[in-house]
Amino acid sequence: MRASKLFARTLREAPAEAEVASHQLLLRAAYIRKLMAGVYTWLPLGLRTLRRVEAIIREEMDASGAQELRMPIVLPAEPWKITGRWQTYGQEMFKLKDRHDRELGLGPTQEEVVTPLVAGEFGSYRDLPVNLYQIEWKYRDELRPRFGLLRGREFLMKDAYSFDRDVDGLRSSYRTMFEAYERVFGRCGLDYRIVEADPGSIGGDVNHEFMALAAVGEDLFVSCENGDYAADVEAAQASTPEPAPPGDREEMVEIFTPGRPGIQDVAELLGRPAPDLLKCMLYDAGGRTVAVLVPGDREVNQNKVARALWPAPVRLFDDADFAAHGFVKGYVGPQKMSEDALVLADRSVRGGANWVTGANRIDHHVTGANVERDFRVDRWEDVMRVNEGDSCPRCGGRLHIGRSIVVGHIYQLGTRYSKPLKATFVDEDGTEQPYQMGCYGIGLSRIVAAAAEQFNDEAGLRWPKALAPYDAVVIPTNMDQAAVVETAERLYGELAELDIDAVIDDREVTAGVKFADADLIGYPVQIVVGKRSLQSGTADLKVRSTGQRSHAPLAQAARAAVDLLAGAP
């Protein structure tokens, strides 16, 4: 490719809206251009990098035994309503109607498509197992798209779906995909962690996220200092304290706390530490009131609450809800909660006694509130957000919180979709059984962004060679010198003969501009030819990722570039 013909105009400065390195550099280096919030055009350089990611994934999926197909983007609403996800996805799903007033959605994922497909084609246990995958654009109506490709409304995704006759088969398929994902992210050169995760609206019990480490990542994960536990913060658990020992239980006493609706306000007034207070958060779960209890110094993890109450849609009470149900915001306690309400307590609440909590009337709290005597708990669940320094649930070590970008997520779905969609096969004994399903997603466009976050410096992108749009660039520094141009053209041709995908920067611009663009775009190997090269008989070479510089005789420069590329990360 000739740089003079390449559809790529680099920018010296990033647009003001680009907040993170990957967004800034992918714009500046002419990989992407914004069409609207959360939606980007992939320019030739960006598309070539995306295609390299795609090739790695396709090779590993095919090697694992998965078979590629292509499913529609526009989806009918009916199967989504049957599984309940039409409701739970809510406004995150792009929804529309056709001219016949039929409800449709733009696919954020394809379980509701592939499950009936397999049921209609493979109806016997002899047909199983089977794993089908596609690489296709997906859509989510993000409330606040940001950070370029990291949180977009359109994104390229590989999604695969396995179908097995029993749980052992599902586990085997899951392990096969787990190992394939390790190879994919290893080949992409990413620094990543595998963590236990929250299944979100997709469902399933066992699931893992593959997280690329990044200081700007919006996805938090928890890891134990001893290395034996790692989990997405939405799924992470801390060790549960022992139940409070039997002992003196204070009488429950109501006290006047004027103008003190907050935990910290009450703690200061009473001279008590925040962990002595019991926080009571109210939610609506499909029309039912749910009181969620956690110690006063902790936060409720709403995703855990939603998972505990699935499939009911869950939302935090608003002011109208408080008024409609007779609760006083800021002064709610679990005492005398109606029988119609559900009282859900984090397991850590078992470790406390003589709680301070709301008195259910304005400007009043109670002290000495104890479970069973003064309030009931209908269900004990893990609904608390883990904090830095909490104890590991496996070994008691300290937990630490890190930032990352989720680039892959795999799930053991079981019969989460096959049962409601009545997708069954005939087993060996003649009975109809629902498929045991797994699903496996990789965000291709996110891999590009994550790699740009991990591999950059002040000069630009430093792609791993597996992801770079081109392998090398030949830079003639003096376009007005015929011998320089002729030598550069010869090297460019030799690289092509050696199967090196190269660019020759034949633009009529200064050498400084060419050097800056080569660093910004991130070509793995740079080969520089100028007047001094002809005088010395050598070309200058540079490995972009390491900054390593060397010289090679002009006659061997192309071969030297091949060797440098082979040794580059």
Within this chain, do residues 183 and 230 fall inside the same structural domain, yes or no? yes
Q: How confident is the model at residue 90 (pLDDT cuts 50, 70, 90)?
A: confident
The pLDDT, as a whole number, for residue 241 is 86
Within this chain, do residues 59 and 149 fall inside the same structural domain, yes or no? yes
- The tens digit of pLDDT for each residue in 510-534 reads 999 999 999 999 999 999 999 999 9
Q: What burial class does residue 212 get, using C-beta atoms within 10 Å of its C-beta: 0-12 exposed, 13-18 middle, 19+ buried?
A: buried
Within this chain, do residues 214 and 78 fall inside the same structural domain, yes or no? yes
Residue 98 has pLDDT above 80, yes or no: yes
Residue 178 has pLDDT above 80, yes or no: yes
Q: How confident is the model at residue 464 (pLDDT cuts 50, 70, 90)?
A: very high
Determine the Cα–Cα distance for residues 170 and 410; give it in Å rounded to an integer.
12
Within this chain, do residues 290 and 409 fall inside the same structural domain, yes or no? no
Please compute the mean of the pLDDT values over residues 300-324 and round it to a whole number. Answer: 92
**% of the chain residues with pLDDT over 70:** 100
The pLDDT, as a whole number, for residue 83 is 94
Q: How confident is the model at residue 311 (pLDDT cuts 50, 70, 90)?
A: confident
At residue 283, φ and ψ (nearest 5 deg) are -130, 155
Output the 3-class SS for 407-424: EEEEEEEECCCCCCCCCE
Q: Is residue 341 part of a domain?
A: yes
Within this chain, do residues 430 and 487 fall inside the same structural domain, yes or no? no
Within this chain, do residues 78 and 215 fall inside the same structural domain, yes or no? yes
Q: Is residue 434 part of a domain?
A: yes
Give the angle subtended at the CA of 223 by the CAs of 220 and 225, to the nearest 5°.
Answer: 145
The pLDDT, as a whole number, for residue 244 is 84
Q: Is residue 395 part of a domain?
A: no
Find the CATH number of the domain harbouring 555.
3.40.50.800
Q: Is residue 547 part of a domain?
A: yes
The pLDDT, as a whole number, for residue 136 is 97
Among 327, 351, 381, identify where a domain stops.
381
Residue 199 has pLDDT above 90, yes or no: no
DSSP 14: -
Packed helices 557-567 and 482-497: angle between N→C axes, nearest 10 degrees = 50
Determine the Cα–Cα distance for residues 438 and 123; give it in Å rounded to an integer.
18
Number of other residues whose CB lies within 10 A of the CB of residue 133: 25
SS3 563: helix
Find the CATH number of the domain harbouring 409.
3.30.930.10
Q: Is residue 8 part of a domain?
A: no
Structural domain span for residue 515? 470-567
Give the angle subtended at the CA of 345 by the CAs of 340 and 351, to the nearest 5°.
Answer: 145
SS3 189: coil
Q: What burial class does residue 298 get, using C-beta atoms within 10 Å of its C-beta: 0-12 exposed, 13-18 middle, 19+ buried?
A: buried
Q: Is residue 459 part of a domain?
A: no
Give the angle subtended at the CA of 391 by the CAs of 388 and 397, to the nearest 5°.
Answer: 100
Within this chain, do residues 359 and 229 fall inside the same structural domain, yes or no? no
The pLDDT, as a whole number, for residue 185 is 98
| Nearest by Cα to 335 from 364, 366, 309 | 366
Within this chain, do residues 264 and 299 fall inside the same structural domain, yes or no? yes
The pLDDT, as a whole number, for residue 204 is 74
The pLDDT, as a whole number, for residue 161 is 98
Question: What strands, in cross-sheet order, belong to the sheet with 364-369?
Answer: 253-256, 364-369, 355-358
Q: Is residue 205 part of a domain?
A: yes
With tokens 């990360």, the residue in question is: 569
Within this chain, do residues 136 and 197 fall inside the same structural domain, yes or no? yes
Give the bridge partners for 371, in sequence order.
Answer: 375
Within this chain, do residues 216 and 365 fall inside the same structural domain, yes or no? no
Please compute the mean of the pLDDT values over residues 39-44 and round it to a whole number. Answer: 98
Please compute the mean of the pLDDT values over residues 35-61 and round it to a whole number. Answer: 97
Within this chain, do residues 307 and 182 fall inside the same structural domain, yes or no? no
Residue 203 has pLDDT above 90, yes or no: no
Within this chain, do residues 42 and 77 fall inside the same structural domain, yes or no? yes
Number of domains in the chain: 3
Find the CATH number of the domain harbouring 310.
3.90.960.10
Q: How confident is the model at residue 384 (pLDDT cuts 50, 70, 90)?
A: very high
Residue 17: partners with Cβ closer than 8 Å, 6 or more residues away:
none
DSSP 266: H
Residue 177: partners with Cβ closer than 8 Å, 6 or more residues away:
64, 131, 160, 162, 410, 438, 440
Residue 6 has pLDDT above 80, yes or no: yes
Q: Is residue 231 part of a domain?
A: yes
Q: How confident is the model at residue 351 (pLDDT cuts 50, 70, 90)?
A: very high
Q: Give the mean pLDDT of the chain.
A: 95
At residue 384, φ and ψ (nearest 5 deg) are -105, 145
The pLDDT, as a whole number, for residue 240 is 87
